[in-house]
């Protein structure tokens, strides 16, 4: 039986994007399934932790602005940011939850499109039109997807995912959850790799 690793993400984070690329490879190496679960840093970091957004944090904001492009370059991942790098991740998260309820595999492909568009292709994925186009490319109806973004049931479904992530202790992205252990950061992928290989230490 394949093990399942939970991957917590928020489209707002370029580190989350790097994590989404890396976990595919790491999980495949160990025959591990990945369950993609959305969260929102606006709720965990600003709401629960009471911290300012990372980009606006003195010292750390400027550091991050240099560090994440350096990480992209090191990994050979194109960096071309949609919306000048600022993103409202709520519509994309809700669209993901709506798709996931119908087809988990399509939801992963949708998330990968959103991440790649926002961070590697310069497409503003805060835009409902662009989200609808991403859904359409996967066979989902444009108007249904747009309607879903305001559907109270979809909103509740997405919010329940965010609340469950925070209940588990997830505060930042990417976070990987396996065997009751949380690993936070794309720079913890080597630890996840080792954990999956050895069963822990």
Residues near a second copy (CB under 8 A): 44, 48-52, 57-60, 62-63, 66-67, 70-71, 73-74, 166, 169-172, 181-185, 187-188, 191, 194, 201
Integer Cα distance of 1 and 32 in angstroms: 9
* Spatial contact of 172 and 5, defined as CB atoms under 8 Å apart: no
> Minimum distance between the CB of residue 201 and a second copy, rounded to whole angstroms?
5
Distance (Å) of CA 45 to CA 1, 49, 95, 134, 149: 35, 5, 22, 28, 23
Q: For a second copy, which is the closer residue by CB, 26 or 108?
A: 26
Number of residues that make up the chain: 201
> Minimum distance between the CB of residue 11 and a second copy, rounded to whole angstroms?
20
Q: For a second copy, which is the closer residue by CB, 40 or 154?
A: 40
> Minimum distance between the CB of residue 48 and a second copy, rounded to whole angstroms?
5
Buried residues in 118-131 as b, exposed as e (16+ CB within 10 A): bbbeebbbbbbebb
> Minimum distance between the CB of residue 116 and a second copy, rounded to whole angstroms?
21
Per DSSP, 39 falls in state -
Q: Which residues sit opposite 178 in a β-bridge?
A: 181
Buried residues in 169-194 as b, exposed as e (16+ CB within 10 A): ebbbbbbbbbeeeebbbbebbeebbe
> Minimum distance between the CB of residue 84 and a second copy, rounded to whole angstroms?
23
Tokens describing residue 110? 């949708």
> Minimum distance between the CB of residue 49 and a second copy, rounded to whole angstroms?
5
The helix (H) or strand (E) run that includes residue 68 is helix 60-75
Q: For a second copy, which is the closer residue by CB, 153 or 181?
A: 181
């Amino acid at each position: 039986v394949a093990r399942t690793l939970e991957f917590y993400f928020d489209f707002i984070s370029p580190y989350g994007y790097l994590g989404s690329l890396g976990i595919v490879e790491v999980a495949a190496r160990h025959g591990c399934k990945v369950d993609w679960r959305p969260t929102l840093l606006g709720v965990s970091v600003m709401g629960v932790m009471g911290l300012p957004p990372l980009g606006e944090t003195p010292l750390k904001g400027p550091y991050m602005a240099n560090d994440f492009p350096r990480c992209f370059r090191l990994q050979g991942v194109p960096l071309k940011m949609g919306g000048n790098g600022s993103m409202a991740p709520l519509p994309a998260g809700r669209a993901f939850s709506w798709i996931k309820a119908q087809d988990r595999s399509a939801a992963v492909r949708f998330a990968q499109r959103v991440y790649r568009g926002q961070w590697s292709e310069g497409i503003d994925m805060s835009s409902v039109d662009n989200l609808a186009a991403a859904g359409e490319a996967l066979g989902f109806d444009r108007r249904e997807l747009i309607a879903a973004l305001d559907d109270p049931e979809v909103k509740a479904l997405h919010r329940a995912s965010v609340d469950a992530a925070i209940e588990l202790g997830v505060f930042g992205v990417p976070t990987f959850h396996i065997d009751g252990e949380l690993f936070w950061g794309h720079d913890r992928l080597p630890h996840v790799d080792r954990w999956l290989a050895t069963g822990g230490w």
